[in-house]
Structure 1
């Protein structure tokens, strides 16, 4: 089997199914989704790990595939299939039906790809079909695509339904695979919410109040979902900022915001400059939806399986006219740092309370994009359970399959993104204060942003921005 995509750079050459080395008995186990999981159902998660060196000789026969089967035995939810339960809600039947694995060849070197592919073409490194709503019994909610570049580089693309996992959960699946391949203990084994000992479950039993901010924001998002958005061509570019540049920029705003983090700085910078590209609003206010992972703040296991994300809204008058970047960064910092347990539990309880008279969850809605959304991945910078080989290495770059063959780049994409756009602030393989910023915007806005003087003055390296001449 071999199929070539329209760009003639990615060729699918084989498909197979990977199953766990210790299969579960069919029908003996199910996994229920939380209210938050159900709310994320319109989206998918796509993660791509790039490696300079060849990872295996022949995937079908290599221990590389054996280690995948071994790690899948820890994740019966990954190899299962989604079905309706007695109440009509989605759940996972842990029947060990397996994970779809696709093998592909890329007709250029890894360096050529990173310097010339755009976000749309990069998605060709991941295999995905949206879940059929009526009968998903044969549909694989997880897909893995192994892409081999000319000259030996490899990209591992993982796709899954956002109802099953968030970006951290998806990242840890690949990291656990790498640890299994190296014959090391899995540092963050999956921890499933159905466990009675889950701190998340105990928190929901204790906290009974809903904060006004969470309730108002999520209810507004649910209402917005009833109004169709005008379709626009969304494109993506990635900006890589050095540790030295971020350190200097933080020093420049220190007097206004002494506690600013790289996320505060970059969220403020891109928000202010993207706001200038948006149509003027009569009320002269701009809002930013900020997404954070609450595993660390709630002291959850990093292996928490499912979604551990919180979305909140920050509004500032005339943000696009603010000359003091420190002022905007300070607003972002206060907004994020002041969020605590009550806020997170409140939002989760709100999702659980969306069950109607028939004990069914409300319809999912777009969590990313109706408003400009900024995702923080700062929790991946300093993560628990790091080993000697991964100390001071951001979580996604700790997915090391072989000695010294660390990922040189990791990309994240969110499926079914519409609206104003998405900013993702992520650690860089350089470590330290260095950061990557992936931006998805309507095409004409991204073109202007890439030429923005304030951003260009920080000398970012542009990756996957479609610079190839066509």
Structure 2
């Protein structure tokens, strides 16, 4: 059977069920062919978690929450499918209505107690599942509803990256909440144009890509092993802190004022701190991952990612933050074309790590992360982590809850444990970014 989550590590009671499309496909089972980016990301998993107050879920039962999934899966047929291999060995998804798994759990603490104990951490609230070792039985999506003692609820997903990127995962669960609110499911889904992103020729790398790492997996268990234990921590940078950071970096920059996005400034700052932790010697090369968040309404899930490399000419630990941010914005090199060639040459059978092959920064600050609503209420807190991260680590930059100006950022960092502890100390001691707890 496919892997199931380990519920014995937390004080919960649980049950698991399966949700299938409302309309059986019968003999019309189709095949969803995976493109090069789907296959490149197949060892990674996206895990968003949303927290809702008791007011938001008042009157809602587990059956109410599962109900919208049936008609939604009619349109997202590949989400309830299973992995198969063609005669050549290339994976694809058989749309056989095998369904998605749903877990229902209970925590014997309140939301407030959870936040007091875990801060922005979501460990245990997203299902701990990966694909395999029996791929034919492994669900591509696992959903977990956790009820808290106060009546609050967390909604966690484990979304196989082979289905689509984080924006696709967010849009899928947002569409679920819209159906729950009484809106009809989409009549059809728009299939995006997955052609090569358009960039100036000089910014494209056509040589062998350097931002991914070829790896080996055990049999058909789609999860790469790490040399180090990777831990995760989340920082909430408020809109006020972002403005102070922008002011401070401009004041230390003797050149003309430099314009850069918050994502690029945060990336430069975290990179500088990590380089200093390693005596300023590295890393010299980082991966920048972006995706188009302005997608068509009711768009079919896809891995619409742009993966770029940036290599610093000097040690990042000694660089000015704003100058480094400007270089990240202007001097990175897109590697999509080279990666497509590499995957196709291997007929999609080889296994790669993307997140954490180099230190990786993922830009999700413009994603509609908070579009999920229950009874008209937005989540009081939401976060997202990735599973399958390599030893060099990954940094996710997400929109934060509305805080005054409503322009803060959630920064979720996965690094080897010792390195992560040093990063927390450096961000707090030198930049005043305190590891706070969410409030509601």
- TM-score tier by shorter-chain length is 0.7 to 0.9
Q: Which residue, out of 193, 209, 222, partners 1:199?
A: 193
Name the CA distance, whole Å, in 1 between partners of 2:234 and 2:425.
13
The answer as to whether partners of 1:36 and 1:348 remain within 8 angstroms in 2 is no
The answer as to whether partners of 1:26 and 1:96 remain within 8 angstroms in 2 is no
| Structure 2 residue aligned with 1:384 | none
Q: Which residue, out of 409, 425, 437, partners 2:381?
A: 409
The answer as to whether partners of 1:247 and 1:433 remain within 8 angstroms in 2 is no
Flag the 1:101–1:300 CA change in 2: closer, same or farther, 3 A. same
1:314 aligns with 2:336: no
Name the CA distance, whole Å, in 2 between partners of 1:79 and 1:242.
38
1:235 aligns with 2:201: no
Name the CA distance, whole Å, in 2 between partners of 1:124 and 1:265.
31
| Structure 2 residue aligned with 1:246 | 242
Name the CA distance, whole Å, in 1 between partners of 2:128 and 2:256.
45
The answer as to whether partners of 1:295 and 1:308 remain within 8 angstroms in 2 is no
RMSD value over aligned CA atoms?
3.3
Describe the SS at the equivalent of 2:26.
coil
CA deviation digits over 1:105-155, x for unaligned, max 9?
112211221232378x7332122332225x422221110010111101111
Q: Which residue, out of 322, 346, 352, partners 1:365?
A: 352
CA positional deviation for 1:34: 0.4
Flag the 1:456–1:208 CA change in 2: closer, same or farther, 3 A. closer
Describe the SS at the equivalent of 2:328.
helix
| Structure 1 residue aligned with 2:76 | 75
Flag the 1:457–1:14 CA change in 2: closer, same or farther, 3 A. same
Unaligned runs of 5+ in 2: 218-223
Name the CA distance, whole Å, in 2 between partners of 1:456 and 1:409.
27
CA positional deviation for 1:247: 2.0
The answer as to whether partners of 1:242 and 1:460 remain within 8 angstroms in 2 is no
CA positional deviation for 1:279: 5.7
Flag the 1:355–1:329 CA change in 2: closer, same or farther, 3 A. closer
Describe the SS at the equivalent of 2:67.
helix
The answer as to whether partners of 1:210 and 1:349 remain within 8 angstroms in 2 is no
1:399 aligns with 2:399: no
CA positional deviation for 1:354: 3.2
1:289 aligns with 2:287: yes
How many pairs are equivalent?
Answer: 420
Unaligned runs of 5+ in 1: 193-197, 381-394, 465-470
The answer as to whether partners of 2:90 and 2:349 remain within 8 angstroms in 1 is no
| Structure 2 residue aligned with 1:152 | 151
Describe the SS at the equivalent of 2:388.
coil
Q: TM-score, normalised by structure 2?
A: 0.84
Flag the 1:424–1:60 CA change in 2: closer, same or farther, 3 A. closer
Q: How does 1:53-202 map to 2 (within 5 A)?
A: 53=54, 55=57, 57=59, 59-62=61-64, 64-117=65-118, 122-133=122-133, 135-184=134-183, 190-192=189-191, 198-201=192-195
CA positional deviation for 1:361: 1.9
| Structure 2 residue aligned with 1:467 | none
CA deviation digits over 1:412-455, x for unaligned, max 9?
12112121211111111116421111111111121122122566
CA positional deviation for 1:26: 4.1
| Structure 1 residue aligned with 2:209 | 218
Describe the SS at the equivalent of 2:79.
coil
Q: Which runs of 4+ in 1 moved over 3 A?
A: 56-61, 185-192, 207-217, 225-230, 251-258, 299-302, 453-461
Describe the SS at the equivalent of 1:354.
helix
The answer as to whether partners of 2:129 and 2:158 remain within 8 angstroms in 1 is no
Q: TM-score, normalised by structure 1?
A: 0.79
Describe the SS at the equivalent of 1:273.
helix
CA positional deviation for 1:332: 2.1
Describe the SS at the equivalent of 1:113.
helix
| Structure 2 residue aligned with 1:391 | none
CA positional deviation for 1:401: 2.1
Q: Which residue, out of 341, 360, 379, partners 2:366?
A: 379
1:351 aligns with 2:349: no
